[in-house]
């Protein structure tokens, strides 16, 4: 494989479970060194896609190439080319640091000749030199998580899958973690991130949003925030905010309303032109409006505008 | 209830486990009718605090009252006033949605006429009206959490304690969840909710930011963000790594984070530094798409606060 070939290439990938189409003609490409975020509601088909890319589940139709290997034809070979880490289930808490490293080295068949050097690298990277015999369960989350990352890449895979890698981790450790990920990407590792956590999505170069098995949007975090939203966003500060929320659910022009403390976020087709109408609508109903102004959507706003809750449940088997 | 208008009042709440002080002299008060967030990463002491307030764990020292009842001297009194949804809320996976709700209604002694009305209303708010006959075990993660909330609310508590109810829940279901919580305020319920999603702090009236058992800050999200010293600046660029190299060591930058489409900086003075940064990038010939001041997040604040306090400690 040349270095210009995509590290992950998925074409018309389909997975059916009986009548249920979990993944519906998904096509995507991730470049070498790209941090690729895969977002979607519970049950959207994210994990099914990842399991196919890891060679753990056979596609119904379509093709997925990982590191130049077809996952349907060479699932074992694919598994040697990837690393996998999830914040929640990666390490054995009742094993010592060194025991966890050796366990994963064995699982990934790391040759003995390079093992000492790799172990050294993990300990260094995780900041665990001198704590090799500490019980993993007693480590603070930041260390545990860097150890999990080290174990996932002991065999130097060109492709790394991360599942909500920094959920619940303190922000300083989280930033350190993403620093490491960006460093690995800089060295050519392709990183596939699945998450519900919009803070994590911000660290990705490119995002794909999947809903009911299909890709509904893709782009950089900035592109998604600038272009992908259906409608525009208004911030409304008013009193009483609870009543206003109820009234606005059925107000003309309002596509969605969400509450943030003492303020509301409204999705409307056009922010500027909607302001006067909404002011009048709320005033007539006894709501005092302190502020109403257009704001930029966050990734969460985009996510919610492009997916739908009811549809999510219909698609869950 | 005493004369105070506090739903919860915690004074110097402390709990030590072997080798770790889980909660370290924590004081805060939740006003009646507000949604108060305990916000912080794993290990910050959120769960331990909630368990003490729910009367299921005894504090080492402290006084705390919940709905006017002292958790030390009258834990049973507390239990009658609250509903507590722990992280592993007990849903019966082999019972249907409706059967789970009925079970909790019996447990809380809710009258039959009342329960039907309330169950229908709550299930509708959760977007689950059509799922009454589905087995709880077959629900998605987000739906299970919402069903847990419905069960916890089948009676009307004075104080609702929620331990990380939105953990692992996607943003769409999370919004439903918050909508239900805000609707409850109209019934006079006060809510204490914990979360490790720092961005969720924005949804609370007031928050306590916790780190390693201690209180960093307690205020409204808007006030908290005003306390951040300096300005947050976002620079968008097709090559964030090069951008960072060009900016490393530049005067006035207190933190620099690589994100997917650029870098985020905290600088001492935005008005002064943005033109300087612009000039610096132009002279270094580093391409960038935009450079602008952006609102700070709770995470920015958290990072600055922890840096400051650990700096002081050393």
B41 — contact with chain A (CB < 8 Å)? yes
- Under 8 Å between Cβ of B189 and B160: yes
Mean pLDDT of B158-177: 89
B309 — contact with chain A (CB < 8 Å)? no
Tell me how far apart the alpha carbons of residues A222 and B97 are, in angstroms, rounded to a whole number.
Answer: 40
Dump strand ranges (E) for chain A: 8-17, 20-30, 35-39, 61-66, 69-70, 82-86, 159-163, 190-195, 206-211, 214-219, 232-239, 256-260, 263-268, 288-295
| pLDDT for the residue B4 | 52
| Mean of all residue pLDDT scores within chain B | 89
Tell me how far apart the alpha carbons of residues B141 and B153 are, in angstroms, rounded to a whole number.
Answer: 19
Q: Which B residues, 158 through 177, put their C-beta within 8 Å of a C-beta on chain A? A: 167-173, 175-176
B77-133: pLDDT as tens digits: 898 899 999 887 788 999 999 999 999 999 888 988 888 999 998 998 888 999 999
Mean pLDDT of B231-239: 91
Kindly state the helix (H) or strand (E) to which residue B66 belongs, with its residue range. strand B61-66
Check pLDDT > 90 for residue B62: no
Please give, rounded to a whole number of angstroms, the shortest distance from the CA of B168 to a CA of chain A. 7
B contacts of A247 (beta carbons < 8 Å): none
Tell me how far apart the alpha carbons of residues A200 and A193 are, in angstroms, rounded to a whole number.
Answer: 8
Tell me how far apart the alpha carbons of residues A159 and A156 are, in angstroms, rounded to a whole number.
Answer: 9
- Under 8 Å between Cβ of A300 and A198: yes
Tell me how far apart the alpha carbons of residues A151 and A85 are, in angstroms, rounded to a whole number.
Answer: 8
Q: Which residues of chain A have pLDDT under 50?
A: 1, 309-317
Nearest CA in chain B to A185: B241
A250 — contact with chain B (CB < 8 Å)? no
B303 — contact with chain A (CB < 8 Å)? yes
pLDDT band at B311 (very low <50, low <70, confident <90, very high): low
| pLDDT for the residue A240 | 86
| pLDDT for the residue A3 | 57
A313 — contact with chain B (CB < 8 Å)? yes
Place of tokens 């956590």: A197
Q: How many CB atoms lie within 10 A of CB A4?
A: 7
B18 — contact with chain A (CB < 8 Å)? no
Please give, rounded to a whole number of angstroms, the shortest distance from the CA of B41 to a CA of chain A. 5
Cross-chain Cβ contact B257/A175 below 8 Å: yes
Closest among B132, B139, B52, B68 to B96, alpha carbons compared: B132
Tell me how far apart the alpha carbons of residues A174 and A159 are, in angstroms, rounded to a whole number.
Answer: 21
Nearest CA in chain A to B235: A222
The DSSP secondary-structure symbol of A303 reads H
A274-294: pLDDT as tens digits: 999 999 999 999 999 999 999
B252-308: pLDDT as tens digits: 998 899 999 999 999 999 999 999 999 999 999 999 999 999 989 998 888 888 887
Instruction: Give chain B's length.
Output: 314
- Three-state secondary structure call for residue B8: strand
A168, A205, A308: residue with CB nearest B196 = A168
| pLDDT for the residue B3 | 46
Q: What percent of chain B has pLDDT over 90?
A: 55
Q: Where do the domains of chain A lie? A: 8-223, 230-296
Cross-chain Cβ contact A313/B143 below 8 Å: yes
- Three-state secondary structure call for residue A194: strand
A35, A141, A298: residue with CB nearest B43 = A141
Residue A270, CA distances (Å) to A2, A42, A294 in order: 47, 30, 9
- Under 8 Å between Cβ of B178 and B191: no
Q: How many CB atoms lie within 10 A of CB A162?
A: 25
Identical topology for domains A8-223 and A230-296: no
In terms of CATH architecture, what is A230-296? 2-Layer Sandwich (3.30)
Please give, rounded to a whole number of angstroms, the shortest distance from the CA of B238 to a CA of chain A. 9
Please give, rounded to a whole number of angstroms, the shortest distance from the CA of A74 to a CA of chain B. 32
| pLDDT for the residue A250 | 85
Cross-chain Cβ contact A261/B202 below 8 Å: yes
Q: Could you tell me which residues come within 8 angstroms of residue A103 by beta carbon, excluding any fewer than 6 positions away? A: A92, A95, A151
A50: exposed, middle or buried (Cβ count in 10 Å: 0-12, 13-18, 19+): middle
| pLDDT for the residue B314 | 34
User: Which residues, listed in sequence order, are joined to residue B13 by a DSSP beta bridge?
Assistant: B26
| End-to-end CA, chain A | 38
Check pLDDT > 50 for residue B1: no
| pLDDT for the residue A42 | 78
The DSSP secondary-structure symbol of A224 reads I
A197 — contact with chain B (CB < 8 Å)? yes
Tokens at A253, concatenated: 């022009």
Whether domain A8-223 has CATH 3.40.50.300: yes
């Amino acid at each position: 494989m040349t270095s210009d070939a995509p590290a992950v290439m998925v074409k018309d990938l389909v997975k059916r479970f009986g009548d249920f189409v979990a993944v519906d003609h998904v096509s995507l490409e991730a470049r070498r060194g790209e941090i690729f975020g895969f977002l979607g509601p519970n049950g959207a088909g994210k994990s099914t896609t990842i399991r196919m890319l890891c060679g753990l589940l056979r596609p119904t139709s379509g093709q997925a190439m990982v590191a130049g290997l077809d996952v349907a034809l060479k699932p074992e070979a694919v598994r040697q080319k990837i690393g996998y880490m999830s914040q929640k289930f990666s390490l054995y808490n009742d094993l010592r640091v060194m025991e966890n490293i050796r366990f994963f080295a064995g699982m990934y068949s790391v040759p003995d000749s390079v093992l000492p050097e790799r172990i050294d690298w993990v300990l260094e990277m995780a900041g665990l030199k001198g704590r090799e015999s500490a019980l993993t369960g007693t480590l603070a989350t930041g260390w545990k998580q860097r150890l999990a990352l080290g174990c996932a890449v002991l065999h130097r895979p060109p492709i790394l899958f991360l599942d909500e890698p920094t959920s619940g981790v303190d922000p300083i450790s989280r930033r350190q973690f993403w620093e490491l990920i960006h460093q690995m990407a800089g060295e050519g590792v392709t990183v596939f991130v699945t998450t519900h956590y919009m803070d994590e999505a911000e660290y990705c170069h490119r995002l794909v949003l999947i809903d009911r098995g299909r890709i509904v949007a893709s782009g950089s975090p900035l592109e998604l925030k600038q272009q992908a939203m259906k409608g525009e966003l208004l911030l409304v500060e008013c009193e009483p905010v609870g009543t206003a929320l109820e009234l606005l659910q059925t107000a003309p022009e309002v596509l969605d309303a969400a509450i943030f403390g003492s303020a509301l976020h409204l999705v409307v087709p056009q922010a500027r032109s909607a302001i006067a109408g909404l002011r009048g609508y709320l005033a007539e109903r006894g709501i005092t409006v302190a502020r109403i102004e257009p704001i930029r959507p966050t990734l969460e706003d985009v996510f919610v505008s492009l997916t739908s809750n009811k549809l999510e449940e219909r698609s869950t088997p | 209830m005493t004369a105070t208008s506090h739903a919860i009042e915690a004074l110097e709440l402390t709990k030590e486990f072997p080798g770790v002080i889980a909660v370290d002299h924590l004081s805060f008060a939740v006003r009646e009718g507000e949604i108060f967030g305990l916000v912080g990463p794993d290990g910050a002491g959120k769960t331990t605090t909630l368990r003490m307030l729910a009367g299921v764990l005894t504090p080492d020292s402290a006084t705390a009252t919940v709905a006017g009842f002292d958790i030390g001297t009258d834990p049973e009194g507390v239990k009658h006033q609250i509903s507590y949804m722990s992280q592993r809320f007990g849903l019966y996976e082999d019972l249907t949605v409706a059967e789970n709700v009925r079970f909790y209604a019996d447990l809380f002694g809710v009258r039959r006429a009342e329960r039907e009305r309330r169950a229908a209303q709550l299930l509708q708010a959760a977007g689950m009206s059509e799922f009454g006959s589905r087995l709880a075990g077959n629900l998605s993660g987000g739906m299970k959490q919402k069903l847990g909330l419905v069960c916890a609310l089948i009676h009307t508590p004075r104080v609702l304690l929620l331990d990380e109810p939105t953990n692992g829940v996607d943003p769409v279901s999370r919004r439903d969840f918050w909508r239900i919580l805000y609707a409850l305020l109209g019934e006079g319920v006060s809510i204490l909710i914990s979360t490790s999603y720092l961005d969720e702090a924005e949804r609370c009236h007031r928050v306590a930011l916790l780190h390693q058992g201690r209180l960093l800050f307690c205020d409204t999200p808007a006030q908290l963000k005003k306390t951040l010293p300096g300005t947050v600046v976002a620079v968008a660029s097709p090559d964030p790594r090069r951008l960072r190299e060009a900016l490393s060591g530049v005067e006035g930058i207190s933190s620099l984070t690589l994100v997917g489409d650029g870098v985020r900086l905290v600088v001492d003075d935005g008005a002064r530094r943005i033109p300087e940064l612009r000039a610096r990038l132009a002279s270094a010939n580093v391409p960038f798409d935009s450079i602008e001041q952006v609102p700070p997040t709770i995470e920015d604040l958290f990072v600055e606060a922890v840096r400051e306090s650990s700096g002081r400690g050393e």
